[in-house]
Amino acid sequence: MALAVLSMIRNYTENEWISDDFLLQPIWDYLRLEMGNFCRSPLFPVVISVTFYFVLNLPFMIMDIMGESWPRIYKYKIQQKPVKLGKMKEAIVCSLQNQVLFVLPAAIYQWLFRPPISLSVQAPSVAEFVLGLLGNMLIFDFQYYWWHRLHHNYRFLYKYVHKLHHEHNSPCSWTTQYVTGCELVAVGIFANLNPLILNQHFLTTHVAILMNIYVSVEAHTGYDFPWSMASVSPFNLWGGAPTHDMHHQKPLTNFQPFFTYLDNIFGTSSDAAHCESRDPLKKQKIILATSN
Ligand SMILES: [Zn+2]
Ligand SMILES: [Zn+2]
């Protein structure tokens, strides 16, 4: 019986409608053959990341500027108050400064010292691609949870590395990169190193990097749309904008950037009454660290 089921599954996956050749190989062939020189360039990851980040922010910026005059959109705003345009402007300026001071030198370094890479002929299988994206997000999420918690728990780290990001207690999409250079570098290392650790295909690697940017921006938009990741994910596995918005309101909770399981396990979820239940001396220390 079991063998019959396995045989059926194998036959089904060999069906041309869902075969790997049908899904990813044509896309990969197009990129490799038509845009190969651009893809091989050491500047490719930087160019697509920066472009994607700025383009992705544009619709949310328009929504924020229109605010209450677009009630059909505004009703999804988590904190029902208009975005302060001054805050938005300082976040855009900070993003641009970070690109010039940190991303551009990294791009020039790659351009000068990293040789163009070769592109394999074979596309990744669908399973490899999907599991690769999921693996990337799980690892980044785990790394950032501990990095984030550490930077809220130690006064020095909070003050000099992470505090800037918390100047926005009502975030907008541009808040995503309203961060110090140290934080940008840490996040950049996690996001770019994980696909190498997982030895992923070029296509999976770069879609994972873009996906990371998308979910990070979505978490900061301040909107809880019915089609957003948190709304469509089952069992509240994905935190997204609602939980990260709460982190900006209550900085001692919801350290996980994407998922929710670590905050639930370690009692750092905003739903957990961890502030009341933890060691009062430690709690006081954290409050002092995050309020200076
Ligand atoms: Zn944030
Ligand atoms: Zn934080």
Which ligand has an atom closest to residue 290 CA?
Answer: 2
Residue 53 domain boundaries: 44-113+124-224
- Looking at the CA of 171, name the nearest ligand: 1
Query: What pLDDT, on the 0 to 100 scale, is given for residue 291?
Result: 45
Closest alpha carbon to 64 in 52, 82, 78: 82
Residue 2 in domain: no
CB neighbourhood size of 154 (10 A): 15
Cα distance between residue 152 and residue 171, in whole Å: 18
The encoded tokens of residue 214 equal 């998308």
State whether residue 266 is helix, strand or coil: coil
For residue 93 the two structure tokens come to 């300026």
Residue 51 included in any domain: yes
- How distant is the alpha carbon of residue 40 from its chain centre? 24
Residues above pLDDT 90, as percent of the chain: 71
Query: Among all ligands shown, which has an atom nearest to the Cα of 175?
Result: 1
Helix (H, G, I), strand (E, B) or coil at 243: helix
What separation in Å is there between the alpha carbon of 100 and the centre of ligand 1?
Answer: 21
Number of domains in the chain: 1
Q: Is residue 66 part of a domain?
A: yes
What's the CA gap between 28 and 150, in Å, rounded? 40
Residue 19 has pLDDT above 70, yes or no: no
Task: Report the first-to-last Cα separation within the chain, whole angstroms.
Answer: 65
Cα 161 to averaged position of ligand 2 atoms, centre (Å): 10
Q: Is residue 20 part of a domain?
A: no
| Three-state secondary-structure class, residue 80 | coil
pLDDT band at 245 (very low <50, low <70, confident <90, very high): very high
Mean pLDDT of 13-17: 45
Q: What confidence score (pLDDT) does residue 156 get?
A: 96
Give mean pLDDT, residues 136-145.
96
Residue pair 182/162 in contact by the 8 Å Cβ criterion: no
Minimum-distance ligand to the CA of 163? Answer: 2
Domain membership flag for residue 197: yes
pLDDT(14) > 80:
no
Q: Classify residue 190: in a domain, yes or no.
A: yes
Q: Tell me what percent of the chain is helix, strand and coil, each rounded to the nearest 5.
A: 70, 0, 25
| Residue 214 domain flag | yes
Query: Do the domain assignments include residue 30?
Result: no
